[in-house]
Amino acid sequence: MNRSSEDQRIRQLRPAKRLLDAWLPIGVQQEEERNAEGDLVPCQTIFLTGRECPFTCIFCDLWQYTLDDPTPPGAIPAQISRAFEAFGRPPDRATIKLYNASNFFDDKAVPRADWPAIAELLRPFSRVVVECHPRLVNESCGEFAERLEGRLEVAIGLETVHPVSLPRLNKKLTLESFERATSLLRSFGVGIRSFVLVGAPYIPAAETVEWAVRSVDHAQQCGSEVVSLIPVRGGNGELDRLADLGVSCLPTIRQLEEALDGALRLNQGVVLADLWDVESLAGCITCRRARIERMEQLNRVGGGEAPVACRVCDGVA
């Protein structure tokens, strides 16, 4: 993919990339997460090192965990094996996420020649989650799914359905291309997980929650069984520039919580709040910890948690 002048301008604003070893995973994580059926199951995540995504989304901060050059053949299976040394034997019905801060079905990020070795390593897992840009979803997704013992789930970014914001994210995505990707995945019997931004640029701050919920609704209407709400994070250069222009404002902890509540009220599927680095979001000092703990519990049970009462936020004298 040739980089446009806009891509180049955005990349020039980025701080320096981290130095990474192509043969070592960036990190591993073990937790419990609700799966597409709503059951709380063990979930192991491997953050893989690989080639950078060719797209240049203005909100992305994952590029710093990638390589400039194509991922060496054999590196991804080696990283998975190394991660398993930390995990040990996976529990029954466990889910595994292979997140490479890029596109699993980009041969330069995950060499197709490594698929047999990857599939063999993933035999014990009941569900395998990988991530990919909707425009790179094609027949290879179905081919990889057939190699797995468990069910494949592909995580794709819808980000927002806001008619002004989506075209300006530089994601090179339309609602039509997202819908094409979800239709194709459904035809393969592959599960769909969608990412929705909370605090997407070019959306007025007062409308942050509304558009996040509307975006979740659209993702679910397209067949997404799991939707992850991702709070926008600054520090990548372009978002800081847009903040100075007054067209981007990072979400607060309360807005993320309200978006989660609104999405869960749709009652159409599993919705999770991404709480990685949530402490960096602005929020009331009196209730921020209670709101984070409530979202953690909502991620586990999917509803039924009483709202947080705060004399400061609620304006009680």
Task: For the beta carbon of residue 279, count every other beta carbon within 10 angstroms.
Answer: 11
| Residue-level pLDDT at 1 | 55
Q: What is the mean pLDDT of residues 289-304?
A: 95
* CATH T-level assignment (fold) for domain 5-301: TIM Barrel (3.20.20)
Per-residue pLDDT averaged across 179-188, rounded? 98
Instruction: Examine the pLDDT at 4 and tell me if it is beyond 90.
Output: no
Write b or e for each residue in 71-90: b if 16 or more Cβ atoms lie within 10 A of its Cβ, otherwise e: beeebbbbbbeebbeebeeb
Q: For 199-237, how does the pLDDT look when each residue is reduced to its tens digit (9 = 90+)?
A: 999 999 999 999 999 999 999 999 999 999 999 998 889
The burial class, CB within 10 Å (0-12 / 13-18 / 19+), for 245 is exposed
Q: Which of 24-38, 84-98, 181-195, 275-289 has the highest mean pLDDT?
A: 181-195
Mean pLDDT of 102-125: 97
Mean pLDDT value across residues 299-303: 94
Please provide the average confidence, as pLDDT, over all residues in the chain: 94
Mean pLDDT of the region 157-162: 98
Tell me: pLDDT of 176 over 70. yes
Question: What are the boundaries of each domain within the chain?
Answer: 5-301
290 has pLDDT over 70: yes
Buried b (16+ CB within 10 A) or exposed e, 178-187: bbebbebbee
pLDDT at 56 over 60: yes
On the question of pLDDT at 90 being above 90, the answer is no
pLDDT band at 80 (very low <50, low <70, confident <90, very high): very high
Task: Name the token pair of 121.
Answer: 């390593």
Give the per-residue pLDDT at 214.
Answer: 98
SS3 labels along the chain: CCCCHHHHHHHHCCCCCCCCCCCCCCEEEEEEEECCCCCEEEEEEEECCCECCCCCCCCCCCHHHCECCCCCCCHHHHHHHHHHHHHCCCCCCCEEEEECCCCCCCCCCCCHHHHHHHHHHCCCCCEEEEECCHHHCCHHHHHHHHHCCCEEEEEEEEECCCCCCHHHHCCCCCHHHHHHHHHHHHHCCCEEEEEEEECCCCCCHHHHHHHHHHHHHHHHHCCCCEEEEEECCCCCCHHHHHHHHCCCCCCEHHHHHHHHHHHHHCCCCEEEECCCCHHHCECCCCCHHHHHHHHHHHHHHCCCCCCCCCCCCCCCC
Range 175-192 average pLDDT: 98
Which candidate, 173, 49, 23, places its Cα nearest to that of 101?
49
pLDDT recorded at residue 3: 73
Gap between the Cα atoms of 212 and 159, Å rounded? 8
pLDDT at 87: 82
pLDDT of 317 above 50: no
Cα separation, 94 vs 126, in Å, equals 6
Percent of the chain at pLDDT exceeding 90 = 91
Question: Is the pLDDT score of 8 beyond 90?
Answer: yes
Q: Chain centroid to CA 314: how far?
A: 32
- Is the pLDDT assigned to residue 306 strictly greater than 80? yes
- CA 83-88-89 angle, to 5 degrees, is 120
Instruction: From residue 317, give the alpha-carbon distance in Å to each of 245, 287, 291, 313.
Output: 36, 16, 21, 11
pLDDT above 70 (res 46): yes
Band of residue 42 on the pLDDT scale cut at 50, 70, 90? very high
pLDDT band at 2 (very low <50, low <70, confident <90, very high): low
pLDDT in tens, 238-286: 999 999 999 999 999 999 999 999 999 999 999 999 999 999 999 999 9
Segment 162-186 shows an average pLDDT of 97
